[in-house]
Chain A
Amino acid sequence: MSISDLPILGIETSCDETAAAVVADGHIYSNTIFSQTEHSLYGGVVPELASRNHIRTLLPVVDRALSEADLGLDDLGGIAVTQGPGLVGCLLVGISVGKGLALGSGLPLVGVHHIEGHLFAGSMAHPDLVPPFMALVASGGHTELIYVCAWGNYERWGRTRDDAAGEAFDKVAKILGLLREGEVTMGGPRISMLAEEGNPEAFDFPRALINNPGFDFSFSGLKTSVLYRIRDLAVENIEAIGANIAASFQAAVVDVLVDKTLRAAREAGAERVLLSGGVAANRALRAQLDDRASKLGMGVFYPPTALCTDNAAMIAGAGAFRLARGETAGGNLNAAPRLPLPGLRERQV
């Protein structure tokens, strides 16, 4: 039995979520995430950012991931932990715990790139999704178009020049008053829900770079455009047209994402497309991508929501691949807030 067939413990603390999971041979035994909705379990509402929350919650989360998998450290083949990119203080918590567990148990440890995790999430949910395929990874912090030539061999076709797609949702939700006090990252679900009651053609918001021959994205001007359409309107009208704004804004983001992703897939000769990251949970995006891809004869894959948003199962999945290649980290594994994706090269035009 090779190391990659044994259960791998994954740990993810790159940003807001504290997560641990156990995965064996692509099968998910447990996928535990600590989020604010679970605060009753540990007592008190937890502010999102501070690394001290990772410190407080990570060990209970690891315990729960192991107990839900009904396994102990002795049963594992290795430990995978997110090395970057992310917030240095948050990454360090996961890495330190990973190192401690590895040292105590004698298990091999490997550092994983967060985006590679999102790529593996697709194949964990859909074992028939094998490279080559075109992947759009879109979340609050990332918007990247990556051609997966083979596992560990990636070509970047495009990325955002300013705001991430998920960030545009968060900020427009803020402008529309859809976020509660202290809430900054629930924009995606809120906009998506409101948009269902609105007309996506009510406002003609800009589709930045859509006619640009390249594959980069830009969402910063869209945010400003929404802001000024709202400023143009009388205050009493905002509630009445909020749904139209949400629907029209969402349509602008979806048009650009789908257009560029499918054009890249076609130019790369890819027959399969993966949509991953938190924004992949957006229903309008899935619907339009499905519709337009099927007309081109392409298959579209997206992981279930629990694997789209940040999670540790995807880190364990990518870690199993890295461990199977004989890659292990030593005690000097360090957080890398700007870690480049290993095996990534820019597309040569």
Chain B
Amino acid sequence: MSNRKITRVSSSPDQTHRFGRDLAARLKPGDCVALTGDLGSGKTCFAQGICAGLNVTDYVTSPTFVIVNEYAGVSPDGKQMPVYHFDLYRLGSPDELYEIGCDDLFYGEGVCLIEWADLGGDLIPDHAIDVHFAHAGEMVRNLTISTRTRLYTASEG
């Protein structure tokens, strides 16, 4: 994915879930997805869609209380791909995220889904894919998907 912005309009939780599944098909080991947006805007629903796309069979529940949940995912081409589902909602400061050992996971071999990523400050990796959710009616949400920096390419190397 190059440095660009994509917008999508979801008209139901089902559709938000489907957008998540669509993104899952493009994720590689080591990818991070930073999810931002108000309460009830669809972050967990989208994360559940990504997990479904990565063939997670367990219930994907809100990680608000425990900060991070781990699932055994499988990539579309059949490779083991652990999924780490974060929720930074309860964090007092990014320091607390660091103490949890987020770096090992953000720069590891699994896929990280990070809800309330804006509370993670500089600890959110530059290679994260940002997905922002905005309320646009009781069922309607505007999704903006973007990358922070142009991804490393051979010509820049």
Contacts and interface: CB of A to CB of B under 8 A. Distances in A.
Interface of A: 15, 47-52, 85-89, 140-141, 159-164, 166-167, 170-171, 174-175, 182, 184-185, 220-221, 223-224, 227-228, 231, 337-338
A164 B65 contact: yes
A50 to B, nearest CB: 5
A160 B96 CA distance: 27
A88 B101 contact: yes
A194 B21 CA distance: 40
Contact of A50 (B45, B65, B99): B99
B70 A338 contact: yes
A34 B99 CA distance: 20
B82 to A, nearest CB: 11
A160 B61 contact: yes
Most-contacted residue by chain A among B39, B62, B67 (CB, 10 A): B62
Interface stretch (B1-9, B26-34, B86-94, B149-157): B86-94
B142 interface: no
Interface residues of B, number: 28
A220 B62 contact: yes
A182 B39 CA distance: 16
Interface of B: 13, 39-40, 44-45, 48, 59, 61-62, 64-70, 89-93, 95-96, 99-101, 135, 138
5 contacts: A49-B91, A51-B100, A163-B44, A224-B40, A337-B69
B44 A220 contact: yes
Contacts of B61: 160-164
Nearest to A185: B90
Contacts of A50: 92, 95-96, 99
A111 B39 CA distance: 36
Given A49-B91, A228-B138, A88 B100 contact: yes
Given A49-B96, A220-B45, A337 B62 contact: no
Given A87-B100, A164-B61, A171-B39, A47 B92 contact: yes
Most-contacted residue by chain A among B66, B68, B99 (CB, 10 A): B66
A52 B62 CA distance: 24
A89 B62 contact: no
Given A50-B96, A220-B45, A15 B40 contact: no
A174 B39 contact: yes
A159 B90 contact: no
B66 A86 contact: yes
A185 B67 CA distance: 13
A162 B115 CA distance: 14
B85 to A, nearest CB: 11
Contact of B99 (A86, A89, A166, A184): A89
Nearest to B98: A50
Contacts of A175: 39
A170 B64 CA distance: 10
A52 B39 contact: no
B40 A162 contact: no
A48 B64 CA distance: 14
B14 to A, nearest CB: 12
Contacts of A88: 100-101
A120 B67 CA distance: 26
Given A49-B91, A174-B39, A184-B90, 4 more contacts: A15-B66, A159-B59, A224-B138, A227-B40
Contacts of B96: 47, 49-50
Given A85-B66, A141-B65, A48 B40 contact: no
A76 B67 CA distance: 34
Contacts of B101: 88-89
Most-contacted residue by chain B among A162, A170, A182 (CB, 10 A): A162
A184 B89 contact: yes
A137 to B, nearest CB: 13
A48 B65 contact: no
B92 A49 contact: yes
A166 B138 CA distance: 23
A338 B89 contact: no
Contacts of B95: 50
